[in-house]
Structure 1
């Protein structure tokens, strides 16, 4: 991803202890999220802050200190003889856990991660444009992504974090992920109460027709067939 592609990890370059690279990658993705999400309220900043904490933890292990590999080295070394915990590719973990002998960058998990991460950023950006326009007009956002989901921006953050976990799983981010998903759910519920107070029956009708986080398959098929 981004800077990750630029630096090749080989025998002459240390795989870890690259704290500048960890900070640079984390900064880039947090800046991307900031530019797409454009936080304006306390709730927005909490959402971005939680996402940022996840990203910092991720890249701290990806380039700084591989805590997960350190803790699992003994078990992985005994179950996967060819496993090299000091190599950068080892951090992708999923191929080793499944016993696949392949370049981890071409594993199904890694390829799927690009779809989740890219889709998450696109969803956040598209939702922000609709929400920003609706807020300027003082109306309820019900078009674009909001026609399929009541909380597309939270879903976008969730997709990005899940995508990164598919690409580079760690014990820390694995523990953080469900906690952050619950936090986003609670923020969404708090937001719904405020919007319902502002728009009343209009929002209740909208909420009865549009799901909160998972789009209805029928609605997606109908929109694609138009």
Structure 2
């Protein structure tokens, strides 16, 4: 493409942004086991695919260009801002960076990284003491770090949806579900009845509203 407003082909920028977010996630997650590296590697692949389209080559825009140009003729779909598809399609085209979807994406991405960081800190401390993690964020959900990865991906999909990342998303969610089940089998083998009681009071991924807002006692108190 040689259009004056063509906003892609910036492979160096794609590489830098992908590296920054992957290293940022690494600093929070700190993978240690093979399972950790598998989950982190899959997330990294998602990030690379995202920024390759965001700054390198807009595969999604190219594939959908005919439909997009016929339904939204007033948009220059080869400009960089047009990659914010949801903002463009719903009419918030003045500056997509201040649109509803873009703002919501930053909230979800921030919340996701926070969950990853807090979850890893609590889990690392419990492993160091050879105890079951049941307090703090682990008093709300059993797998906060996987929740965090999913929130980050949803945030990026709201901000910059692509064919590749949309296809990867359900695959990664299933992968995280399987990893969570494997972790639970290991925890059950190590902690036995204590972990069974924990699973009866704390859900795996979606917290109970009452517990989320502090209306009930901590999960550790339920096991005493």
Q: Is the 8 A contact 1:62 1:91 kept in 2?
A: yes
Verify: 1:107 aligned to 2:99, yes or no: yes
Matched, 1:42 2:24: no
Contact 1:149 1:213 in 2 (8 A): yes
Structure 1 unaligned spans of 5+: 1-10
Q: How many Å separate the matches in 1 of 2:5 and 2:13? A: 13
Tell me if structure 2 keeps the 8 A contact 1:113–1:164. yes
Quote the residue 2:46 is aligned against.
54
1:119 aligns to 2:111 (yes or no) = yes
CA drift at 1:107: 1.4
Offset of residue 102 of structure 1:
3.2
Report 1:100-179 matches (<5 A): 100-179=92-171
Q: Tell me the alpha carbon deviations over residues 59-111 of structure 1, each in whole angstroms, 9 at most, x when there is no partner.
A: 00000000000011111101111111210001010022223443211111110
Runs of at least 5 residues in structure 2 that lack an aligned partner in the other structure: 217-224
2:177 aligned residue (185, 189, 204) = 185
> Number of residue pairs matched?
214
Aligned to 2:222: none
Question: Secondary structure, in 3 states, of the residue corresponding to 2:66?
Answer: helix
Aligned mate of 2:199, from 174, 189, 207: 207
Within a 5 Å distance, the mapping from 1:82-93 to structure 2 comes to 82-93=74-85
Q: Distance in 1 between matches of 2:122 and 2:144?
A: 11
Taking the aligned partners of 1:167 and 1:196, their CA distance within structure 2 comes to 39
**Aligned-pair distance for 1:14?**
5.1
Normalising to structure 1: TM-score of the pair? Answer: 0.91
CA distance in 1, matches of 2:215, 2:157: 30
Rounded to whole Å, the distance in 2 between the matches of 1:201 and 1:25 is: 45
TM-score (norm 2): 0.92
Q: Pick from 54, 58, 74 the counterpart of residue 66 of structure 2.
A: 74
Q: Is the 8 A contact 1:70 1:85 kept in 2?
A: no
**Residues 76 and 14 of structure 1: is their aligned pair in 2 closer, same or farther, counting only changes over 3 Å?**
closer
Match of 1:217 in 2: 209
The answer on whether the counterparts of 2:139 and 2:202 sit within 8 Å (CA) in structure 1 is yes
